[in-house]
């Protein structure tokens, strides 16, 4: 019995890469292996142990016809939806062959359509049309705004004109009064205080005592002083 190398696959749902082939669901998103799954060899060749190799089936995986998940050959029901293996119509190799056939027919149909296109058919310029359409819309908007905001001149006829004017007149009259009372309708303009004259007035008396002192010699004192001459 030859040695077994476990391959890898990439999840087409979330983009997780280099998942062990024995792990039938993506560890990141839980999406199972389906018709888009392709197994490939790892960069570093590592053989499966003999103990693990005995548990691995030598037959290809089968595809569930209900949910499209891939299941090991030793499973009789789909691990994803529970459908039986008997209802399955193809295994992994048949699935890959049919997918490649669909891809090949799609490419042939695309090439055939491209050949049937006339060479002299002018190419459409959707970008130019869009630019012209946008410019036309802007021009219409600007023209409408100018029409609404432009001043409109109308000729009118004046049949009658009335003019009224009201002027309030105030009269200022000066009253010279000698007393301190003002008439009821008078207004005080200003007041002024002036000193007519000054006069000395006796307010009170003060008693002032004058004290005189004089110096008297009661004894004499003799004082001596010394000056250092520097010679002893």
- Read off the pLDDT band of 227 (50, 70, 90): very low
Q: What is the dihedral of CA 187, 193, 194, 197, to 10 degrees?
A: 130
Q: Give residue 173's pLDDT.
A: 66
Pairing of strands 62-63, 70-71: antiparallel
Q: Give residue 93's pLDDT.
A: 76
- For the chain, state the CA radius of gyration: 62
Q: Is the pLDDT of residue 228 over 50?
A: no
Strands (DSSP E) along the chain, which ranges?
8-9, 19-20, 62-63, 70-71, 90-91
Report which of residues 73 and 134 the model is more confident about.
Answer: 134
CA distance 143 to 147: 6
Task: Please name the residue that has the structure tokens 């009821």.
Answer: 184
Q: Would you state the structure tokens that stand for residue 25, as one six-digit string? A: 């669901």
Note the helical H segments in 116-170.
126-149
Q: Is the pLDDT of residue 221 over 70?
A: no
Among 50-64, 68-82, 89-103, the range with the most confident prediction by mean pLDDT is: 68-82
Beta bridge partners of residue 70, listed in sequence order: 63
Task: Please name the residue that has the structure tokens 């310029």.
Answer: 125
Q: Give residue 224's pLDDT.
A: 39
CA distance 191 to 210: 51
- Closest Cα to residue 36, out of 62, 10, 8? 10
Q: Would you state the structure tokens that stand for residue 206, as one six-digit string? A: 């003060």
Q: Is the pLDDT of residue 123 over 70?
A: no
Average pLDDT in the 5-18 region? 90
CA distance 82 to 67: 10
Q: Is the pLDDT of residue 177 over 70?
A: no
Return all residues near 12 (Cβ < 8 A) that are at least 6 apart.
31, 34, 36, 37
Q: Give residue 232's pLDDT.
A: 31
Q: Would you state the structure tokens that stand for residue 147, as one six-digit string? A: 């029409």
CA distance 220 to 136: 132
Q: Give residue 10's pLDDT.
A: 94
- Cα first-last separation, the chain: 137
Q: Would you state the structure tokens that stand for residue 217, as one six-digit string? A: 């010699």
3: left (phi over 0), alpha (psi -120 to 50) or beta: beta
Q: Is the dihedral of CA 22, 24, 30, 33 positive or negative?
A: positive
């Amino acid at each position: 019995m030859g040695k077994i190398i476990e391959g890898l696959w990439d999840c087409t749902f979330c983009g997780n890469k280099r998942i062990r082939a024995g792990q039938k669901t993506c560890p990141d998103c839980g999406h199972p292996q389906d018709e888009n799954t392709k197994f490939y060899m790892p960069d570093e060749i590592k053989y499966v142990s003999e103990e693990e190799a005995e548990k691995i089936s030598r037959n290809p995986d089968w595809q569930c016809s209900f949910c499209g998940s891939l299941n090991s050959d030793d499973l009789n029901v789909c691990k994803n939806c529970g459908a039986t293996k008997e209802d399955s119509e193809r295994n992994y190799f048949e699935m890959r062959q049919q997918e490649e056939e669909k891809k090949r027919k799609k490419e042939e149909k695309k090439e055939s359509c491209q050949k049937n296109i006339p060479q002299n058919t002018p190419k459409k310029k959707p970008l130019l049309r869009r630019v012209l359409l946008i410019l036309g819309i802007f021009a219409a908007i600007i023209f409408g705004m100018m029409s609404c905001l432009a001043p409109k001149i109308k000729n009118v006829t004046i049949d009658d004109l009335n003019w009224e004017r009201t002027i309030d007149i105030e009269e200022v009259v000066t009253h010279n009064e000698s007393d301190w009372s003002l008439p009821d309708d008078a207004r005080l303009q200003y007041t002024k205080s002036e000193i007519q004259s000054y006069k000395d007035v006796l307010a009170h008396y003060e008693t002032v005592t004058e004290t005189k002192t004089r110096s008297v010699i009661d004894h004499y004192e003799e004082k001596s002083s010394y000056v250092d001459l520097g010679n002893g």
